[in-house]
Each structure stands twice: as C-alpha cells, then as structure tokens.
C-alpha cells in the first residue's frame, strides 16, 4: 500500500478559537456605527473615503473605500493601480525594504501623545494572532471586497481594525499612495465620539451569560 490509512482513533476538532482582541472585533458584539462620511484624499484617478467607523468595546473598525478610475491611464497601468489598492495586495506586500514601494497604499493613525499604528508596520511585523499581546496601538487589515464595475471604475472596500480604542480626543488618520497620485494626507477624527459609541455596542444575544 502506497498511502497509509487515515488514523481514526482521534476525532477531529471543530472548535474555532476566539481571536484575541488585538486581531479582530469581539464575535459576540454587533458594534455601534458612527457615521463619518469623509473624503480623506483625492487624485485624478483615485478617491479614498472613510464612510463610517464601527465601534466595539475593545476597539474600532475603520471602514475604508478606495475608488479608482481609468481616465487617461492605459489598461495595464489602471489594472496595476486598482489591484495595488486592494486589501489582498496589501496582505501580500513586500517585506524587508527600507521604504515601502510606491505601489503600496499606506494608511495609519497617530494619537496626540505620538503613539502611531500603520498598515506598513503590520506588514513588517506580521503579528501572530495568537502570540503575546502587542504593546499597541495596532492597525490590522480586514478584507471585505474588491472589484471593477461600469467598465472604467474600480472599487475596494475593507476594514482597518484599530486596537485598543483611541483616547477620547482628536487623533490623526493618514493616507499616502504614490502610485495613486496621493501625497501624504492627514485628516482628524473624533476620538471622544468613538469612545462614547463603544458603550452602545450591544451583544447579539444580550440575555446570554457570555
């Protein structure tokens, strides 16, 4: 016999471990939606929007949308542009370089005390979701969807999980994308409103003792 039989003495486990709070929102919470409706940055071929923030008791999900259009770009250049802004391209991004490549969409937050978290830092560190708790703050990609619609338009929407909750004061949200024609652009977000919304994040089954 070339292939040995599969062992049957041990039953497979179907348990799914709970992700730690720095990796994902708590699975028992619905989150409270805080409308932002901000155009963070715009170039001739790209718009980066922050429509909303979904706030949980342990952190918040920045819901980002990147819209691209072909305009006067060649089909090949526009394809690279659109794919470069997708969360899947970010997850497979290069490591070890002193500077991130121009093709990489860069996003980050910075608090008033100077503490900072960026998507570039996440790529370089490749944190294990089940390792030791990071010092924080951290900003982790949470892919949602990516696609092209209407012939010359491309859309990528994804979440950025910010852990822990920001301080209850104004902080910075930054975007930079050389390939997309976007220089470093910074907008201010209301940390106090986010912290207040955390108290409205209800459990899916509030009567359960979880």
Domain annotation covers residue 4: no
Up-side HSE of residue 95: CA atoms within 13 Å toward CB?
8
**Cis peptide bond prior to 137, omega within 30° of 0:** yes
Of residues 78 and 8, more confidence is placed in 78
Contact 56, 201 (CB under 8 A): yes
- HSE at residue 173, side-chain half, CA atoms within 13 A, is 25
Distance CA 187, CA 103 (A): 22
Identify the pLDDT of residue 91.
47
- CA of residue 124 relative to chain centroid, distance: 15
Q: What is the CATH number of the domain that holds 189?
A: 2.60.40
Is 207 domain-assigned? no
Residue 117 has pLDDT above 50, yes or no: yes
| pLDDT at 133 > cutoff 80 | no
Encoded tokens for 3: 């292939």
Residue among 32, 36, 21, 51 at smallest CA distance from 196: 32
* Contact assessment for residue 173 and residue 187, using Cβ atoms and an 8 Å cutoff: yes
* 13 falls within a domain: no
d(CA 79, CA 70): 8
Cβ neighbors of 75 (< 8 A, separation 6 or more) are none
- For residue 46, tell me if it sits in a domain: yes
Could you tell me the pLDDT band of residue 120, with boundaries at 50, 70 and 90? confident
Cα 192 from chain centroid (whole Å): 21
Percent of the chain beyond pLDDT 70?
73
Q: What pLDDT shows up at residue 134?
A: 79
**pLDDT value for 127:** 52
Structure tokens at 55: 């706030």
Q: Say if 63 falls within a structural domain.
A: yes
Residue 179 lies in a domain: yes
Does 184 fall in a domain? yes
Residue 93 Cα distances to 84, 96, 121, 124, angstroms? 9, 10, 11, 9
Of 25-29, 125-129, 140-144, where does the model show the most confidence?
25-29
Domain count, the chain: 1
In terms of residue numbers, what domain contains 129? 32-198
What are the tokens at 57? 């008791």
The confidence score (pLDDT) of residue 177 equals 92
Give all strands (DSSP E) within the chain, no chain letters: 32-42, 46-55, 60-69, 106-110, 116-118, 138-149, 153-163, 170-177, 182-190
Q: Would you state the pLDDT for residue 92?
A: 47
**163 confidence band (pLDDT: 50, 70, 90):** very high
Which CB contacts under 8 angstroms, 24+ apart, belong to 16-21? 17/130, 19/129, 20/129, 20/130, 20/133, 21/58, 21/59, 21/163, 21/164
| pLDDT tens string 12-53 | 555 666 778 888 899 899 999 999 999 999 999 899 999 999
User: Is residue 22 included in any domain, yes or no?
Assistant: no
Averaged pLDDT of the chain: 82
pLDDT number for residue 201: 95
């Amino acid at each position: 016999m070339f292939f040995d039989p599969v062992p049957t003495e041990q039953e497979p486990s179907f348990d799914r471990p709970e992700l730690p709070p720095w990796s994902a929102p708590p699975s028992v919470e619905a989150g409270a939606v805080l409308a932002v409706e901000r155009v963070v940055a715009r170039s001739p071929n790209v718009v980066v929007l922050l429509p909303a923030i979904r706030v949980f008791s342990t952190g918040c999900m920045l819901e980002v949308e990147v819209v691209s259009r072909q305009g006067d770009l060649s089909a090949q250049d526009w394809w690279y542009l659109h794919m470069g802004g997708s969360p899947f391209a970010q997850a497979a991004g290069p490591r070890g370089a002193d500077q991130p490549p121009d093709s990489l969409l860069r996003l980050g937050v910075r608090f008033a005390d100077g503490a900072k978290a960026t998507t570039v830092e996440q790529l370089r560190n490749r944190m294990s979701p089940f390792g030791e708790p990071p010092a924080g703050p951290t900003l982790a990609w949470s892919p949602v969807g990516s696609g092209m619609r209407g012939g010359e338009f491309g859309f990528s929407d994804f979440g950025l999980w910010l852990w822990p909750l920001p301080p209850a004061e104004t902080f910075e949200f930054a975007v930079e994308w050389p390939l997309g024609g976007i220089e470093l652009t910074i907008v201010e977000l209301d940390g106090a409103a986010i912290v207040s919304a955390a108290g409205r994040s209800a459990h899916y089954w509030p009567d359960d003792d979880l």
